[in-house]
Homo-oligomer: A and B are copies of this chain.
Amino acid sequence: MSIATVSAVINQTRFVSADAKRRVEDAIASTGYRPNRLAQSLSTRTTKTVGILMPTILSPVSPALLKSATDVLRAHGYSVLFANSEMRSTWETEATELMFDSQVAGLLVVPAGGESPALELFRKAGKPVVLMLHGLKTAHGHDVIRSGNFKGSMDAVTHLIDQGCRRVAVLALPSDTESEEERLAGYRAAIGAAGLDLDPDLVRVGEPSESGTSEEHGYEQTRRLMALPTPPDGIFAMNQYMAIGSLTALKELGVRVPDDVALVGYDDLIWTRHLEPPLSVVSQQIEAIGRIAATHLIHRLTHDGEPEPTESITVDAQFVIRASSDRKTTTTTRERNPT
**Chain B: CB-nearest residue to A48:** B98
A97 partner residues in chain B, CB cutoff 8 A: 34
Binary contact readout A10-27 vs B (1 if CB under 8 angstroms, 0 otherwise): 000000000000000000
CA distance A124 to B101 in the complex (A): 29
Q: Point out the residues of chain B lying under 8 angstroms from A91, CB to CB.
A: 74
User: Does chain B have a CB within 8 A of A312?
Assistant: no
Q: Which label, helix, strand, loop or mixed, suits the secondary structure of the A interface? A: helix
Q: From the candidates B83, B247, B270, name the one contacting A80 in the complex (CB within 8 A).
A: B83
Q: Does chain B have a CB within 8 A of A304?
A: no
* Contact code string A27-68 (vs B, CB < 8 Å = 1, else 0): 000001011111101100001010010001110001110110
Tell me the residues in window 272-311 of chain A with beta carbons closer than 8 Å to chain B beta carbons.
Answer: 274-276
CA distance A37 to B274 in the complex (A): 49
A248–B273 Cα distance when bound, in Å, is 11
Q: Which A residues between 244 and 285 are near B, CB-CB below 8 angstroms?
A: 244, 247-248, 269-271, 274-276
Residues of B contacting A7 in the complex (Cβ-Cβ under 8 angstroms): none
| A102 with B37, Cβ < 8 A, contacts A83-B74, A274-B248 known | yes
Q: Nearest Cβ distance between residue A30 and chain B, in whole angstroms?
A: 14
**Closest B-chain residue to A94, C-beta based?**
B74
B residues near A57, Cβ cutoff 8 Å: 63, 66-67, 70
Contacting pair B41 A38 (CB below 8 A): yes
Docked Cα-Cα span, A45 to B248, in Å, equals 57
Q: A35-B101, A38-B41, A38-B103 are in contact. Are A83 and B62 (CB under 8 A)?
A: no
State the CA gap A32–B82 with chains docked (Å): 25
In the complex, besides A39-B42, A52-B82, 5 extra interface pairs with C-beta distance below 8 angstroms are A71-B86, A74-B83, A74-B91, A79-B83, A81-B82
What are 11 contact pairs spanning A and B, CB under 8 A? Answer: A35-B101, A36-B42, A37-B98, A38-B38, A39-B42, A49-B81, A58-B63, A58-B64, A79-B98, A80-B82, A247-B274
